[in-house]
Amino acid sequence: GAVVSQHPSRVICKSGTSVKIECRSLDFQATTMFWYRQFPKQSLMLMATSNEGSKATYEQGVEKDKFLINHASLTLSTLTVTSAHPEDSSFYICSAMDRLADQPQHFGDGTRLSIL
Amino acid sequence: DQQVKQNSPSLSVQEGRISILNCDYTNSMFDYFLWYKKYPAEGPTFLISISSIKDKNEDGRFTVFLNKSAKHLSLHIVPSQPGDSAVYFCAARQTGANSKLTFGKGITLSVRP
């Protein structure tokens, strides 16, 4: 089945550091990728929709200057958390959708980000 | 306003029995529904989906039922196995809305050996 690879799986870093998370679709082309954030015992909250070759669409309340998204190719999207602070600590998950219609989103394994 | 609701936070069933996980939605524009399974510290894994033009979709031990008039769907797992123990998320999307998924809060299923 479709595989989405997310890297790194875990990051621990100091406050003020910028952190880049990669999301790759390994066996299909993804014109659209999504970035989610999950708080403990909560649902997945969509942060932004990333379209290949264009600017990302951010959900209300998500700071686009804080969470930079780049979708430079049909198989790679990156999320950069800039100048991370402890409140940015969370579980970040990406998903990708095959460019074919009516296909489900496939998710990466997530990145646990801990800001000290 | 939560558009996809999974009102029961947890469910415990005996191995071999049927597990029924429920999901309700409020947005009548949703036309495609999905169930995902998630283990701790992993991303969700797609299980099964159903289009609004159908009322049932079956894949092995998993069956999803859709009742559009009631805006309700359910996932049936039979027979339940200990390996099915996980968090199950119901999700919905609207065609044309950039394929964004709206997720419920999830339900934790525990299958007792």
> Over the stretch A67-116, which tens digit does the pLDDT of each residue have?
999 988 889 999 999 999 999 999 999 999 877 656 788 999 999 999 99
Provide CB contacts within 8 A for A101, sequence distance 6+.
none
User: Chain B residues with CB inside 8 Å of A112's CB?
Assistant: 41
Say what percent of chain B tops pLDDT 90.
84
pLDDT-derived band at B83 (thresholds 50, 70, 90) equals very high
Q: How far apart are CA A44 and CA A36, in angstroms?
A: 6
- In the predicted model, is pLDDT for residue A1 greater than 60? no
pLDDT value at position B68?
96
- In the predicted model, is pLDDT for residue A52 greater than 70? yes
Residue with tokens 């990145």: A111
Question: Tokens representing B43?
Answer: 């991303």
Q: How far apart are CA B9 and CA B3, in angstroms?
A: 16
* Helices (runs of H) and strands (runs of E) counted in chain B: 0, 11
User: Chain A residues with CB inside 8 Å of B105's CB?
Assistant: 42-43
Parallel/antiparallel/unpaired status of strands A10-13 and B56-59: unpaired
Say what percent of chain A tops pLDDT 90.
67
Q: What is the pLDDT of residues B5-23, one digit of tens each?
A: 999 999 999 999 999 999 9
pLDDT value at position A105?
87
Question: Tokens representing A56?
Answer: 């990302």
User: Chain B residues with CB inside 8 Å of A4's CB?
Assistant: 43
Provide CB contacts within 8 A for A91, sequence distance 6+.
A37, A38, A39, A110, A111, A112, A113, B41
Asked whether the CA dihedral B104, B32, B38, B48 is positive or negative, the reply is: positive
Parallel/antiparallel/unpaired status of strands B86-93 and A111-115: unpaired
Q: Is A99's Cβ below 8 Å from some Cβ in B?
A: no
Say what percent of chain B tops pLDDT 70.
97
Residues found in chain B: 113
A104 and B49 within 8 Å at the Cβ level: the answer is: yes
- In the predicted model, is pLDDT for residue A11 greater than 90? yes
A44-73 residues touching B, CB cutoff 8 A: 44, 46, 49, 57
Return the bridge partners of B68, or none. Answer: none
Q: How far apart are CA B107 and CA B97, in angstroms?
A: 26
Question: Tokens representing B56?
Answer: 């049932």
Asked whether the bond before B79 is cis by omega within 30 degrees of 0, the reply is yes
Please name the member of A43, A97, A106 whose beta carbon is closest to the beta carbon of B104.
Answer: A43
Q: How far is B102 from chain A (nearest CA, A)?
A: 8
Q: How far apart are CA B22 and CA B87, in angstroms?
A: 13
Provide CB contacts within 8 A for B110, sequence distance 6+.
B10, B11, B12, B13, B85
Please, what is the average pLDDT of chain B? Answer: 93
pLDDT value at position B16?
97
Parallel/antiparallel/unpaired status of strands A111-115 and B4-5: unpaired
